[in-house]
Amino acid sequence: MDTNRETEVNNLLKGYNMMLYFAGSMIMYEPTEECITDFWSKGILRNLPVESRNPRFMEAASQLRGSCLDKATCRLLLMEDYSRLFTRPGYAVAVPLKSLWAPEDPEGDARDYDPGSFYESYGWKPKLRNRLPDDHLGTEILFLTLLTDKLASFDDEACRREMKKEIRKFIKDHIFSWVPQWNNMVQESAGSMCYKGISTLILACAEDIYALLDSDNDLYFSLNNLKN
C-alpha cells in the first residue's frame, strides 16, 4: 500500500466531508441567522478546504463566492429558496427525494434502489428517520460522510480496498442515479446563487470522491488550508 497516497486520500476526504456537512445541513434544515454568520460572513465559502480541477467543482466554488453578497437580505433569500425548492406543500419544485427523480425499476434489484438497505447493512439507523425518508438527499449525504470516515479508520489494505468499492457503489446507485436531474432543477428554479452553489457543490463533491477512490485515477485534487 502506498502510505503517502492513502494519507492524502484520508486528508482530502476530511475536506470533502466538511463541505458535505455544510451542504447537507442546508438541504435538511431551514437556514438560520447562525448559518449566515458561520458560512458566509466569516468567509468560509470563499476559501473551500479542497481545490479541484473538476469543472463542476470550480463552478460550485464560483457560485458560492458570488452568493449572499448582501448580508442584510441573505437569510430572507435563503428561506424563500428553501421553501420554494424543497418544502412548500404542493408547490416545491426540487424536493430532494430519490423516489421523485428516479422511479424504481420493477425489474431491477430493490437493494440497489433503496438506500435504506445500504444503511441497514452497516447497522445505521438515521436519527431523523421519523421526519425524513431514507432517500432524502440530506440523509444520503450524511451516510456518505459516515462511510468515508470509516474508510479513514482502516489501515488494512484489503479493508480499504473493499470500503472504497462500497463507497463508489453507494455514490453510483444513490447519488449519480438522480442528483444530476435534481441539480438541474435547482439551477433553473433557485432565486439566488446560494442554493445553486450548494446544489452544484453536492454533485461535484460526489464526483470527486468517486474519482478519488478509483485506484487507477490520477489525483487532481489538493488541500487548501484544511484545518483540523
Structural domain contains residue 228: no
Chain-centroid distance, C-alpha 137: 8
Coil, helix or strand at residue 199 = helix
Q: What is the CATH number of the domain that holds 90?
A: 1.10.3480.10
Q: Does position 225 have pLDDT exceeding 80, yes or no?
A: no
Structural domain contains residue 60: yes
Domain holding 147, by residue range, is 3-223
Over the stretch 70-96, which tens digit does the pLDDT of each residue have?
877 898 999 999 999 999 988 899 999
Among 191, 176, 167, smallest CA distance to 94 is for 191
- Cell, residue 163: 470500503
Q: Give mean pLDDT, residues 187-209.
A: 96
Structural domain contains residue 213: yes
Number of domains within the chain: 1
Structural domain contains residue 40: yes
Q: Which residue has the higher pLDDT, 195 or 221?
A: 195
Q: How far apart are CA 144 and CA 133, in angstroms?
A: 16
Structural domain contains residue 219: yes
Structural domain contains residue 170: yes
Structural domain contains residue 9: yes
Coil, helix or strand at residue 221 = strand
Q: How far apart are CA 39 and CA 121, in angstroms?
A: 34
DSSP designation for 136: B
Structural domain contains residue 102: yes
